[in-house]
C-alpha cells in the first residue's frame, strides 16, 4: 500500500516539475497566438522590400536610363545617370516611405507580448528560462539590426545623390567660406568623400540582404565583389588607374542587377517559411501546459 502511494506521489511530483519547466515565460497554451511576432515579421519584410527597391533605383534604373530604355521624349530635358531624374526620384521617395512603414510596424511590436512583465514571471525567468529569453531577444534584435544597417546604407546613398553629387553642399560651403583661398581643396575633399560613400553605401545594403536571406558564403562573397567592382567603375577610380574613362562600365554591370532581384523573389518564400517555423519554435518553448 505504501508503495502505491509512493508511486502516486512521484508521478504527481514529476507532472508538476515538467509543468514548471515548460512554464518558461508563462504564456498559457489557450492564449497562444501564432501572430505574436506578426508586426516584427512585417517590418522585416518591408525592410527587405526596401533593400530590393534600392537595387532597382540604384542599378536597374541606371541601366535603363543609360541605354535610353527609360527616357523622356523631350530632348532638352533628357534623363541622365549623373543627376537625379523624376523616375528615380519618385522611387527614392517610395524607398523612404517603405522604410518608414517598416519602422512603424517594428516599433509597434512589444516584447511584453512574449514576456509578460510581472514579478512572478520575472522570478521564474531568473531560475528557468534564461536560455529561452536569450533566444527571443536575439531573434527580436535580428530584424532591427537589418533595418538599421539598411537605413544607414540608404541614408549615405541619398546624401551622396542629392547633396554631394549635385554640388549642393559644395556651393553652400563656398558661399560660407567665400573669402577662403582653399575652395579648390574643399571641392576635391567633397569629391573624395562622395566617391567613398558611393563605394561604401551598397556594402551596407548587401550586408542587410545577406542577413535576411541567410545566403551562402559564396553568394555573399559574389554580391560584395560585384557591388565593389561596380562602385569602382561608377566613381571612375579604375579610370584614374588606367587613364581611361571607365565610368560607363557601371551601367553595363547594372544589367546583371535583375538577377539579384530575381534571386530575392525566388528564395523569399522559402526564407519566409523558415522564419515562421523559427517563431513557432520560440513560442512552443514558452508554452504553459
Which residues partner with 27 through β-bridges? Answer: 287
Q: Say which residue, 241 or 97, is predicted with more confidence.
A: 97
The tens digit of pLDDT for each residue in 96-106 reads 999 999 999 99
> Cα(94)–Cα(117) distance, rounded to whole angstroms?
38
Query: pTM of the prediction?
Result: 0.81
- In the three-class reduction of DSSP (H, G, I as helix; E, B as strand; rest coil), residue 178 is classed as coil
The tens digit of pLDDT for each residue in 146-188 reads 999 999 999 999 999 998 887 777 676 666 666 555 667 777 8
What is the H or E stretch that residue 104 is in? helix 86-108
- In the three-class reduction of DSSP (H, G, I as helix; E, B as strand; rest coil), residue 248 is classed as coil
Cβ contact 125:25 at 8 Å = yes
The answer to whether the Cα torsion of 194, 195, 196, 202 is positive or negative is positive
The tens digit of pLDDT for each residue in 86-132 reads 898 999 999 999 999 999 999 988 766 666 554 445 445 544 456 67
Match 532597382 to its residue by C-alpha cell: 56
Going by C-beta distance under 8 Å and a sequence separation of 6 or more, which residues neighbour residue 125?
25, 115, 133
Question: For residues 217, 256, 194 and 204, what is the CA-based torsion angle, rounded to 10 degrees?
Answer: -30
> Cα(151)–Cα(100) distance, rounded to whole angstroms?
10
Which of these, 35, 47, 24, 34, lies nearest to 96 by C-alpha position? Answer: 47
Which of these, 151, 60, 162, lies nearest to 106 by C-alpha position? Answer: 151
Amino acid at each position: 500500500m505504501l508503495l502505491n502511494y509512493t508511486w502516486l506521489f512521484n508521478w504527481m511530483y514529476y507532472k508538476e516539475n515538467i509543468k514548471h519547466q515548460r512554464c518558461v515565460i508563462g504564456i498559457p497554451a489557450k492564449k497562444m497566438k501564432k501572430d505574436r511576432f506578426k508586426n516584427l515579421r512585417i517590418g522585416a519584410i518591408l525592410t527587405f522590400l526596401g533593400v530590393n527597391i534600392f537595387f532597382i533605383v540604384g542599378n536597374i534604373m541606371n541601366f535603363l536610363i543609360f541605354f535610353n530604355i527609360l527616357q523622356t521624349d523631350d530632348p532638352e530635358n533628357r534623363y541622365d545617370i549623373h543627376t537625379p531624374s523624376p523616375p528615380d526620384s519618385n522611387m527614392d521617395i517610395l524607398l523612404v516611405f517603405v522604410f518608414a512603414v517598416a519602422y512603424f510596424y517594428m516599433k509597434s511590436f512589444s516584447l511584453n507580448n512574449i514576456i509578460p512583465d510581472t514579478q512572478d514571471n520575472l522570478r521564474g525567468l531568473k531560475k528557468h528560462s534564461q536560455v529561452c529569453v536569450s533566444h527571443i531577444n536575439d531573434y527580436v534584435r535580428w530584424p532591427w539590426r537589418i533595418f538599421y544597417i539598411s537605413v544607414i546604407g540608404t541614408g549615405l546613398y541619398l546624401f551622396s545623390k542629392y547633396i554631394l553629387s549635385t554640388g549642393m553642399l559644395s556651393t553652400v560651403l563656398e558661399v560660407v567660406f567665400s573669402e577662403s583661398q582653399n575652395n579648390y581643396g574643399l571641392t576635391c575633399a567633397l569629391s573624395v568623400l562622395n566617391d567613398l560613400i558611393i563605394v561604401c553605401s551598397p556594402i551596407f545594403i548587401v550586408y542587410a540582404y545577406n542577413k535576411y536571406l541567410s545566403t551562402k558564403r559564396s553568394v555573399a562573397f559574389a554580391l560584395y565583389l560585384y557591388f565593389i567592382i561596380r562602385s569602382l567603375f561608377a566613381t571612375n577610380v579604375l579610370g584614374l588607374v588606367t587613364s581611361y574613362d571607365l565610368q560607363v562600365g557601371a551601367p553595363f554591370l547594372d544589367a546583371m542587377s535583375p538577377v539579384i532581384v530575381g534571386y530575392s523573389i525566388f528564395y523569399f518564400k522559402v526564407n519566409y517559411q523558415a522564419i515562421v517555423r523559427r517563431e513557432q519554435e520560440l513560442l512552443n518553448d514558452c508554452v504553459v501546459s
